[in-house]
A and B are shown apart, each in its own frame.
Chain A
Amino acid sequence: MSVHTLSVLVENRPGVLARVAGLFAARGFNIHSLAVGTTEDTQYSRMTVVVDLKTKSLEQVVKQLNKLINIIKVVELDNDAIERELALIKVRARGDDRARIIEIADIFRARISGVSRGTITVEATGSADKLAALQDLLAEYGIVEMARTGVVALGRDDRGIKERMLRAASDE
């Protein structure tokens, strides 16, 4: 298994997500997670796609994505990129379990975002590994349901993806 995080700058238009998702499906690329949101420029959206490549090459994924007309730029983020994901985990919490769950949440610097008679909802942010560890510990109490955003990520270097784009264009 080889997991890669791609940062994809796209035109902010209807149907672009369908194009990307459709391309992944048609070419047999496996999506681990996909998060879409606006950027500092309303013309563009950023997709953060974590792909799991068993047989296909990353090069093919990037090249095929680049062929989509509405895609501005695709970069693979380095291992040291800032990658974050948010998870909401609703855990069964009765009696003494409540205190233990809160303690676990504290250790992970997670917040308690909701409480009901029988559950606590933990809100945690972090890397996929950290969230998996938290999930693992909370599973013991019984997870009622969970939602994760998928990874969003930014490279650590000085330049943003758009500057890289402009530079690439002026290189030609």
Chain B
Amino acid sequence: MADSKKLVFMVTHGPDNPEMAITPFVMAGAASSADITVVMGFQGEGVRIVKKGVAETIAASKVMPLSELLNTIREFGGTFLVASPAIKSRGISEQDLIEGAQVVNASRFVAEIMSATNVLIY
């Protein structure tokens, strides 16, 4: 029943707020395990999560580690979109990002949002 469903998770927190950073990954992990298409969009401080080596440093109690969730979502076909201005303003280059992260601009985010079943902003 869920084959055509798509959820977009907009992530705006990173190491500055570990609980808010990891919560969208918990939700996206649950969604992707149920065969729902997942798109994760990283903006603001959220872009730091997809910098190599950072996900492994973020954890919260009673949920899976963020890095494991990230790898699982990617394994299940999730898409990771990273805001170009947000990485540039933080001195993060495309080469600094994890495998599979796509650097995009506003229109790509809007296109994903407009085609989604629902959008969650963290």
Bound pair (A, B): no
A residues whose Cβ falls under 8 Å from a Cβ of B: none
B residues whose Cβ falls under 8 Å from a Cβ of A: none
